[in-house]
Amino acid sequence: MVPLHLAIGLVEGIATAAVLSVLFRARPDLACARASARTLRPVVVGLGVAALLTAGAFSSLASTAPDGLEWSVTRTAGAILRGPADGIRGLLARAQAALAPFPDYRLPGQTGSASPPSSPGTSLAGVAGAGLTLAVVFGAFASLRWARRRKGNRP
């Protein structure tokens, strides 16, 4: 599943970049280089609240059925995905089993089948994922700001 979700993440990242590009063209005052903290604070807080609601509360409404892309890839490459886990696929499967903090959206140490969408593990995994994504985004922006200041081009 790692390659499938990596591809989905890349496409979603490109879509997000396109939306931000349109947003910053329509509202240049929101661009980080030109916006004050006062201008950005309501936007960041609003997006953070929406992310936490979606990840934590709305995850209980999630379907256990695969989404359209996951279903179509599984259907077309099902034999490959269900085949022996050797080579790079086996390496990635072992890494995922060892490193996944919420395997199948279960709480750490919980055993059994995948948690239902309304399980606390699903909500916690969603909130943790949203928080991690937020940390990566803020880290990227902080790095860009630091690099720009270092060059002498103050934002």
What is the rounded distance in angstroms from the CA atom of residue 112 to the CA atom of residue 142? 41
Number of structural domains (the chain) is 1
Q: Tell me what the mean pLDDT of segment 64-86 comes to.
A: 67
Q: What is the gyration radius of the CA atoms in the chain, in angstroms?
A: 19
CA dihedral 34, 37, 40, 41 (to 10 degrees): 180
The pLDDT value recorded for residue 114 is 53
Return the amino acid letter for 60: S
Residue 63: what residue type? S
Q: What is the mean pLDDT of residues 102-114?
A: 70
135 against 28, higher pLDDT = 135
The residue-averaged pLDDT of 93-100 equals 81
* Domain residue limits at 47: 2-151
> Residues 12-42: pLDDT tens digits?
889 988 988 888 788 777 665 555 666 777 8
The full length of the chain comes to 155
- Dihedral angle of Cα 69, 98, 126, 47, to the nearest 10 degrees: -90
One-letter identity of residue 34: R
Q: Is the pTM of this model over 0.95?
A: no
Burial of 59 (0-12, 13-18, 19+ CB in 10 A): buried
Residue with the bigger pLDDT between 9 and 34: it is 9
